[in-house]
Structure 1
């Protein structure tokens, strides 16, 4: 059985590669070049050369062949361009979701020979394969668990997935890397959106959408409080970046037609209830709607889950009511669905 191991030059993917090698699998490492260095290099240093140097070093240590696969054009078309359009529409997208679904477990398989049975990554998640299909299970490290980012994978994609470090805590991964003196053992974890590297998200937005000044308005009174640089720099629930005194101020809503940001100092008061939303474009990993109206959900990466009452409007659309408020619910966000330690899939918030 041949395994294609996606490596980023970080400690997680390096330990995943080493574990596969330890088990005697026939492994080839692949570095996906998705960084848009030609277009955005003026904004800062490009991280891909440093990442690739670490990937090469660990592959040399483990005696694993390394191939470089360029998916820059595909990545821009199916992830970056989509992200830009969603932001322009006033939504809150999650590029990492589409990176996993459309690139790592999608177009990557179109680029590699058919003899590779699985694609392995350094995600903190577990997959259970059986003759009845594959299940996506949580990592025991609840803070690092990445099932949220994998929840939009389809069943046929999950069937080709392996997550060699999914059963480990982050501390165990670090210890493993240090004991084996793997090249990236002391590298810091990458932060932020996958394709930005060290660049600021605001700089990325400015490059594509520019600046368009508009009014900041107090939600309760309609009073103009100041100006902003464009509604696309602000997300629902955000409290940084307004420049207003007397806060904290929170973004309550956006009028994209008038380019107005509505803000409030009483965002967490009981009268600003935010516990319901309609979720569409649902992806159920086992292809069937769950046979319960009570699930747990995640609205973002992290350990926090809510209990939710679910009304199934059709196969791909549900209405959910959380058991408590979440002031960051916003259209465009992904909602991942869970039943105990199994991730059932996810969908995109259409309205709140």
Structure 2
């Protein structure tokens, strides 16, 4: 019997993951990860992890599998929370869920699982894994989940071949309603439980509140940039070659206060991200204002009216070599090579046609259509035929 350690989170997806593996004859152990108990950064009066760990324990009892809680809060603080504060302070938008999978679930947690004699670690992610022998070497493929509404492959875009080799995703072939039906049939306490909307394993948190505890409020101005801003209408220069064009198009617009009109005040540019509409508290415009750029050095927020404002859109982005990751190492491009792919820059975004160009210091991703709110710090992930091939942090 192969031994599998399941990350039981107290939700329905991981509960059904454990149930299915038990049914398939694996030797299953349930572990609940406690990733947060820093009272100096109170998140809310509710304590979701206590409730969640309790539900996870009840599920383990029901399934007759060993269960324990592991405290990973120290590593979580170092690798996820500190990183988040650091990124927001720089005016970038990190994705803690992608990091949590790379750094915690499939690294720290996986080490603990292997220490317990596990052959695999299983999670309740909606994605699939396949393996194929290519040129005499076993290659692991990460595929989108069967449920299009719930596909979570994007969150696993930073996994390596070594991590995938030891990973199992038992619910990847199912839809959410099917998972709930299985939980109900198996009489699991989590069958009707709502999905958690919080940060990975922290639970309920309002990001501005969370950030305000470490990043001090600092009053600054909100500037509205008109749609007639000269850089939007400037005709493109002549480019000597494609890379020069990509370099030009990957650069974001830069603004000064004199380019628009001051329409309000804010409490800190680092609390806002590109594409954000809520929290600006500025009225008097026909369409709502959206953040089109933040300047954390000068503490200025630049906004544009309406979600089709040109300041929100670009179709080229850059990923540096340091931030570039291939799940399929065998398909990594060499300098000068290109690849036609489909890509997304955020979870739940539909895949968009794109082309990757490998250059000396990284890759350019050129989308067929302009993308809204391309934000530094986010992950771009690219696919071919449902398979996630690689990803990178947007520079």
Q: TM-score, normalised by structure 2?
A: 0.85
Structure 2 counterpart of 1:166: 172
Q: Deviations over 1:283-302 (max 9, x none)?
A: 10121315752110011111
Are the counterparts in 2 of residues 15 and 165 from structure 1 also a CA contact under 8 Å? Answer: yes
In 1, Cα distance between the equivalents of 2:99 and 2:178?
29
Structure 2 counterpart of 1:294: 340
Structure 2 counterpart of 1:258: 298
SS in 2 for 1:116: coil
Structure 1 counterpart of 2:216: 210
Are the counterparts in 2 of residues 293 and 311 from structure 1 also a CA contact under 8 Å? Answer: yes
Equivalent of residue 144 in structure 1, options 150, 160, 164: 150
In 2, Cα distance between the equivalents of 1:341 and 1:31?
30
Count the aligned residue pairs. Answer: 349
Question: Which structure has the greater CA radius of gyration?
Answer: 2
SS in 2 for 1:209: coil
Structure 1 residue 196, shift from structure 2 partner: 3.6
Structure 1 counterpart of 2:390: 345
Structure 2 counterpart of 1:268: 308
Note the residue ranges of structure 1 that are not aligned, 5 or more in a row: none
Are the counterparts in 1 of residues 292 and 373 from structure 2 also a CA contact under 8 Å? Answer: no
4+ residue segments displaced more than 6 Å: none
In 1, Cα distance between the equivalents of 2:293 and 2:98?
24
Structure 1 residue 61, shift from structure 2 partner: 0.6
Structure 2 counterpart of 1:88: 89
Structure 2 counterpart of 1:11: 12
Are the counterparts in 2 of residues 142 and 303 from structure 1 also a CA contact under 8 Å? Answer: no
Q: Alpha carbon RMSD of aligned pairs, Å?
A: 1.7
Structure 1 residue 232, shift from structure 2 partner: 1.5
In 2, Cα distance between the equivalents of 1:216 and 1:13?
43
Q: TM-score, normalised by structure 1?
A: 0.95
Q: How does 1:171-210 map to 2 (within 5 A)?
A: 171-210=177-216
SS in 2 for 1:250: strand
Q: How does 1:209-288 map to 2 (within 5 A)?
A: 209-220=215-226, 221-245=259-283, 246=285, 247-266=287-306, 268-269=308-309, 273-280=313-320, 281-288=323-330
Note the residue ranges of structure 2 that are not aligned, 5 or more in a row: 227-258
Structure 2 counterpart of 1:118: 120
| CA separation of 1:42 and 1:327: change in aligned 2, threshold 3 A | closer
Structure 1 counterpart of 2:244: none
In 1, Cα distance between the equivalents of 2:190 and 2:311?
49
| CA separation of 1:207 and 1:269: change in aligned 2, threshold 3 A | closer
In 2, Cα distance between the equivalents of 1:50 and 1:109?
24
Structure 1 residue 222, shift from structure 2 partner: 2.0
| CA separation of 1:116 and 1:275: change in aligned 2, threshold 3 A | same
